[in-house]
Amino acid sequence: MNLEKVFFGFFILLALTLNFGFFVGELDNPDHHHAYELFAAIVVSLIATAMKFGERTQVGALLLASSMVADLQLIAAALVWGYALYISDAGMTAYTMASVVSLSGGALLANFASVILLIIETVMMPR
């Protein structure tokens, strides 16, 4: 068993599950979406992205691209959340929370694509 591939798969799956945990709940209810969970999703997603650098295959390039999309959307969600809390006079409204959760939903789809690509790559590996 290749320990590097175990950690690689672990971080890809962890990024997906943390993102899913943040995404689940009422779309516009801030009580259903915790900031620390979004932070953990961002950190794990960035680690997963860093682990994908150096791949020289087409599937590796797609894995990196999907991870970068997830990173971008999660960071955008955090920026919207931060803007709502610390800059905007309106504070965290239902509309703003829905935007944050929608951005994390896009990242969730990108993470799901990474997992599907990882499965495809694993099935295609010669024994």
Centroid of chain to Cα 78: 12
The number of folded domains in the chain is 1
pTM score of the predicted model: 0.92
What pLDDT is stored for residue 56 in this prediction? 79
What pLDDT is stored for residue 50 in this prediction? 94
- Angstrom distance (rounded) from CA 76 to CA 74: 5
Alpha helices in 53-93 (DSSP H): 58-86
What pLDDT is stored for residue 109 in this prediction? 97
Q: Could you give the percent of the chain with pLDDT greater than 70? A: 99
Taking each helix axis as running N to C, give the angle between helix 94-124 and helix 35-52, from 0 to 180 degrees, rounded to the nearest 10.
Answer: 30
Q: Across all residues in the chain, what is the average pLDDT?
A: 93
C-alpha distances (whole Å) from 3 to each of 6, 7, 10, 12, 42 are 5, 6, 10, 14, 24
pLDDT tens-digit profile of 21-60?
Answer: 999 999 888 889 999 999 999 999 999 999 988 777 888 8
What pLDDT is stored for residue 41 in this prediction? 97
What pLDDT is stored for residue 124 in this prediction? 86
Please, are residues 37 and 99 in contact by the beta-carbon 8 Å criterion?
no
Per-residue pLDDT band at 2 (split at 50, 70, 90) = confident
Domain residue limits at 107 = 3-124
What pLDDT is stored for residue 5 in this prediction? 86
Q: Which residues touch 65 (CB under 8 Å, ≥6 apart)?
A: none
